[in-house]
Amino acid sequence: MAFGGFNQPSNQTPLSEINMVPLIDVMLVLLVIFMVTAPLLTHAVKVDLPSAAAKPAAASEKIDVSINGSGQWFWNATPVSKAELLKHLEETGLSAPNTEIHLRIDRNARYEVIAEIMSAAASAGLGKIGFVTLPVPVAG
């Protein structure tokens, strides 16, 4: 019979050598990884920077524009009409175009009013516009 049985003794001895192919594969993969990452580590240039005393940056002028829930307009906490607010924005744009506009707007205010203020500030040359919000409490 061409097939061997389980009861016949075999002449083959157990393989007692270490199979090197998987070891070589792993080593080549590690070599490629190190070759790719090594240049990234050498691009950092170590520089010993000198220290210098400099005046702090001048605090830029800021203006608070507020709108409460009932739609009343405020210029630096002073109640104003819509026409007065637009006039103040134009005057500020001409005299100090780097002035920051801080918008303090009630969550119930209409979006149309917000867009109108932003448009008027932009057309007056005031580009630094920010929304003032309450910070989110950190759960701890």
Q: Domain range spanning residue 73?
A: 62-131
For residue 138, count CB atoms less than 10 angstroms from its CB and return exposed for 0-12, middle for 13-18, buried for 19 or more. Answer: exposed
Residue 85 belongs to domain with CATH number: 3.30.420.270
Q: Is residue 67 part of a domain?
A: yes
pTM of the model: 0.54
Q: Is residue 5 part of a domain?
A: no
Q: Is residue 101 part of a domain?
A: yes
Q: Is residue 28 part of a domain?
A: no
Q: Is residue 39 part of a domain?
A: no
The total domain count for the chain is 1
**Does the pLDDT at position 32 exceed 90?**
yes
- One-letter amino acid identity for 2? A
**Spatial distance between the Cα atoms of 29 and 16, rounded to a whole number of angstroms:** 26
Q: Is residue 88 part of a domain?
A: yes
Cα angle for residues 88, 92, 96 (degrees, 5° grid): 170
Q: How confident is the model over 50-91, as pLDDT tens digits?
A: 666 666 655 668 888 888 888 888 888 888 988 998 898 899
Share of the chain above pLDDT 70, in %: 75
Q: Is residue 72 part of a domain?
A: yes
pLDDT confidence of residue 28: 96
Q: Is residue 114 part of a domain?
A: yes
